[in-house]
């Protein structure tokens, strides 16, 4: 499997844009292998940009090269706009599918796991975040240099085998047991505040 090239940085995009802006304004056209400014070649009027006639390839190849170079004058700015739009979309995806303080992705659900009786939680980075360039990372409780052995709310030691919806197994990758998370979500107390919600 071939490795993917590194994504273009904002600085690289700015450099490409600066080169495009410094070039003779477009659009450009070609009459065969010579390149001119304008939408179509007008003898004696169109500004000559360059040519691709090398004498070492076929005339068809020279024409194709000239057409590519002429089109690049408008293609490059259009591609820059599209790349920046896609970068912004990826940023939005990373923001929406961020590493939640609760551990799993706040948007994604593993429907197959939920149908099989599991909690359906999808750990960060979820597949969507991975496609957007998110990197693997440890869950929040691991990043703080500790791995909780007990629930951060009730203090009950985690019981990995107790996977009932209100059991004492760890809830996903959080610092809370399933029981506390279940009770937190069902609270009707107007003054409700707990370690899960804070």
User: How many domains in the chain?
Assistant: 3
Asked if residue 118 lies in contact with residue 137, where contact means CB atoms within 8 angstroms, the answer is: no
* In a domain? residue 89: yes
Same domain flag for 39 and 68 = yes
Q: Is residue 5 part of a domain?
A: no
92 with 154, same domain: the answer is no
With vertex at residue 29, the alpha carbon angle to CA 19 and CA 37, rounded to the nearest 5 degrees, is 60
158 in the same domain as 123: no
Residues 23 and 37 in one domain: yes
- Does some domain include residue 4? no
Domain annotation covers residue 49? yes
Render pLDDT for 133-146 as a digit per residue (tens, 0 to 9): 776 654 444 444 44
Whether residues 74 and 151 share a domain: the answer is: no
**Residue-range definition of the domain harbouring residue 178:** 145-198
19-78 tens-digit pLDDT: 999 999 999 999 888 999 999 999 989 999 998 877 667 888 888 999 999 999 999 999
Neighbouring residues of 12: CB distance < 8 A, sequence distance ≥ 6? none
As a whole number of angstroms, the distance between CA 121 and CA 140 comes to: 15
Cα separation, 120 vs 84, in Å, equals 34
Among 66, 96, 126, residue at a domain's last position: 96
């Amino acid at each position: 499997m071939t490795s993917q090239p590194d994504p273009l940085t904002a600085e690289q995009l700015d450099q490409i844009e600066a080169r495009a802006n410094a070039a003779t304004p477009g659009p450009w056209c070609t009459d065969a292998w010579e390149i001119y400014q304008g939408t179509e070649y007008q003898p004696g009027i169109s500004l000559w940009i360059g040519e691709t006639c090398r004498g070492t390839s076929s005339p068809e190849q020279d024409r194709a090269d000239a057409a590519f170079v002429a089109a690049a004058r408008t293609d490059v700015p259009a591609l820059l706009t599209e790349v920046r739009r896609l970068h912004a979309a990826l940023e939005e995806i990373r923001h929406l599918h961020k590493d939640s303080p609760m551990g799993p992705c706040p948007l994604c659900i593993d429907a197959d796991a939920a149908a099989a009786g599991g909690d359906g939680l999808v750990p960060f980075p979820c597949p969507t975040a991975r496609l957007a360039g998110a990197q693997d990372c440890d869950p929040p409780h691991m990043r703080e240099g500790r791995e909780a052995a007990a629930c951060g709310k009730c203090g009950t030691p985690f019981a990995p085998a107790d996977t009932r919806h209100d059991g004492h197994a760890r809830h996903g990758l959080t610092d809370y047991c399933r029981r506390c998370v279940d009770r937190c979500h069902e609270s009707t107390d107007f003054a409700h505040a707990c370690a899960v919600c804070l």
